[in-house]
Chains A and B, each alone.
Chain A
């Protein structure tokens, strides 16, 4: 009885906070839903989309982001197995891939810019590419903060439940922005 109750106390702490992250994921999804529905209505009424061949950098960045998600999964697994060194290693890899993703997004914008598809554009569909990828990059920045938070916790040897909690919210958020980017990329590919 005592054991069960103590278990409950610990879970009680982390569960609502994890739920907060989930709800943030929901509201963020809806914000991007707002933009993509703007895009749909805009392109339906004008009979045109962005009409571009998306830069290759977007393909590379997508691959890098998916790889980072895999690395983060391995970090979580390492933590579950009690292997802190591996957790830290994979978190560093995730972090590096996240930064790489950011770099590639800048590359993509540069090549968009060089091809004449500017942000300031009389085709709002092209402007919207910058908006959604830009705001997605802001989410990546927030995700990197989560990863750092997890890393700091790991190096400072915080209690296991807290370390697990930090790792879990990092996972929720990072996998979310991974899936979000795939959605946005596929959306932009399909609605050119």
Chain B
């Protein structure tokens, strides 16, 4: 044992040396290789991007609610994009495109996985840092450059990309198609290549760390569900993002060099383009082979985070720990064979459509397993309604109400009616948009003390939760009805079509709800930034949780633990164990210290330990009963 501690101290000392001699503002806050700092960088960049994308959505919601009204203020801010105070059709398309891109990739992929995988993988597994801290730093700066380039496209003459976040060719492949197909599209592609590189570096790092750098005793089946979720998410990313790269490379060649991978028979005005023989459907195949796993890349970390938070705050073990993991694995596997359900109306062979329909509907099974397990964990729990807990429960609510409409859309026959309508918009904004952002917010409230050593204000948290929760439903629920009535998504003005006119009042209502929801975020932003500097100082383990991150000191240090890395003896969910002194037993407490609460299955068939326990019970248990 002494050898271990000696070596560990040595290890740590070298870190300290490093700290005292070389750490400048630049290496500590900017080009940091410390996973905790990189997590904060991802989080704050993610929050800024989320605020921007939310702002964009308010702009196009204004257009949808009052298509004929003039807002002179808009012209002041947007200039020629809103001449006469009305948003131009081209700019409207750019707004929805960039809103989607930022939210899906920059906020809910990088902001969510980047923040919490970086923060929690080393801390919850008992590692000093990531497998490759340098790659980790690079991952953040690629992400940052991607953000800057994407935002930069707002400042060019022809405006940002406008072909939707799925950038289907030919709009994305012919630079002269619409204004947004020009320079804006090029910047979008550059930004996305950087983003994919960042995601891959991050993902490779996460998987490597999880598989190679767990502390002593932390076998895979003792890992918290957060780690399982981040791990499987990273695997999904590694397996699917390269396909997007492959597709994007071909798209770039079509755009810039004149190949015909996705183009055929196109007439621009009076001019026939020379490209022959390609097929835009092939882009959809390559895109959605990434695109569908991508939505699970978005939701799975949120599911993992809420598993942890719901268990901690119900003061109960998570219900069905193994089932939770197997359902995550099930979702991961199935996500690769369902992409066709985005393409039911592309003239797909009905038999193939049937196959994709079946695989899609099977995903409902692991999803339902997870939902029921959340509810069973809450059932008769000793619930503490912290803001994090509320957001985690909010996630479960959105996951159910959004998931149910997924069963409608997964049906090839129903999808013919519902495809590309507001029904789809309502579905994914609930099940992956709202649910994932609630998971992310839950994580922020829960791990804020770990990140900044301060507590967030709970009252502002409650205000933030209730306003956001109610308004999110008010925004997205009515959209189902528009979709059922056949109102297509991405249309600029509802006044242009007779049958859409009657939905204008609903749009006004939805826009007001969106504005209130946006204002509610001010409560969060104030709470977040104020608490970083002026918040109440956090105790070491504010939520009385079992996982390893709460055994580290409140003050951050490079290397995470001052001495030895703690050893893990038990799974992370020993809450309210009968016979135990407290209602939580951290993972670092050996069974020898909790003789009164040990159960036979704790020993996993270790005969010696079982015998020791039996001997102890023979001596101690009867006396207890006599005492009673």
Spell out A's residues near B (CB within 8 Å). 1-2, 5-6, 9, 12, 15-17, 19-20, 23-24, 26-28, 30-35, 38, 41-42, 45-46, 119-124, 127-128, 131, 135
CB within 8 Å for A19 and B250 given contacts A38-B286, A120-B258, A121-B260: no
Q: Tell me, in angstroms, the Cα distance from A131 to B204 when the chains sit together.
A: 25
The answer, yes or no, to whether B213 is at the interface (CB within 8 Å) is yes
Contact between B260 and A127 (Cβ–Cβ < 8 Å)?
yes
Contact between B250 and A27 (Cβ–Cβ < 8 Å)?
no
Q: How large is the interface on B (under 10, 10 to 19, 20 to 34, 35 or more residues)?
A: 35 or more
| Residue among B131, B259, B276 having the largest count of chain A Cβ atoms under 10 Å | B259
Closest to B200 in A: A27
Q: Tell me, in angstroms, the Cα distance from A28 to B276 when the chains sit together.
A: 29
| Chain A neighbourhood of B246, CB < 8 A | 31-35, 38
Q: Pick the contact of A20 from B3, B135, B261, B279 — CB < 8 Å?
A: B135
User: Can you list 21 A-B pairs with a CB-CB distance of less than 8 A?
Assistant: A1-B3, A6-B7, A16-B131, A17-B132, A20-B208, A23-B204, A23-B208, A24-B204, A26-B238, A26-B239, A31-B245, A31-B246, A34-B245, A34-B247, A42-B279, A119-B253, A122-B260, A122-B276, A123-B277, A124-B260, A124-B261
Closest to A28 in B: B242
Q: Tell me, in angstroms, the Cα distance from A119 to B132 when the chains sit together.
A: 39
A-B contact count (CB 8 A): 108
Contact between B260 and A30 (Cβ–Cβ < 8 Å)?
no
| Chain A neighbourhood of B279, CB < 8 A | 42, 45
CB within 8 Å for A23 and B260 given contacts A17-B131, A31-B243, A122-B277: no
B126, chain A: closest CB distance, angstroms = 13
Contact between B259 and A41 (Cβ–Cβ < 8 Å)?
no
The 7 A-B pairs of least Cβ separation, nearest first, read A34-B246, A31-B242, A16-B131, A122-B276, A16-B212, A34-B243, A30-B242
Q: Tell me, in angstroms, the Cα distance from A28 to B240 when the chains sit together.
A: 11
CB within 8 Å for A41 and B282 given contacts A16-B209, A20-B132: yes
| Chain B neighbourhood of A1, CB < 8 A | 3
List CB contacts (< 8 Å) of B170-229 with chain A: 200, 203-205, 207-209, 211-213
Q: Pick the contact of B259 from A6, A45, A121 — CB < 8 Å?
A: A121
Closest to A135 in B: B249
Closest to A31 in B: B242
B262, chain A: closest CB distance, angstroms = 8
Contact between B3 and A2 (Cβ–Cβ < 8 Å)?
yes
Q: Tell me, in angstroms, the Cα distance from A123 to B259 when the chains sit together.
A: 9
B332, chain A: closest CB distance, angstroms = 15
| Chain B neighbourhood of A23, CB < 8 A | 203-204, 207-208, 238
Contact between B250 and A131 (Cβ–Cβ < 8 Å)?
yes
Q: Pick the contact of A34 from B135, B200, B242 — CB < 8 Å?
A: B242
A139, chain B: closest CB distance, angstroms = 13
Contact between A20 and B205 (Cβ–Cβ < 8 Å)?
yes
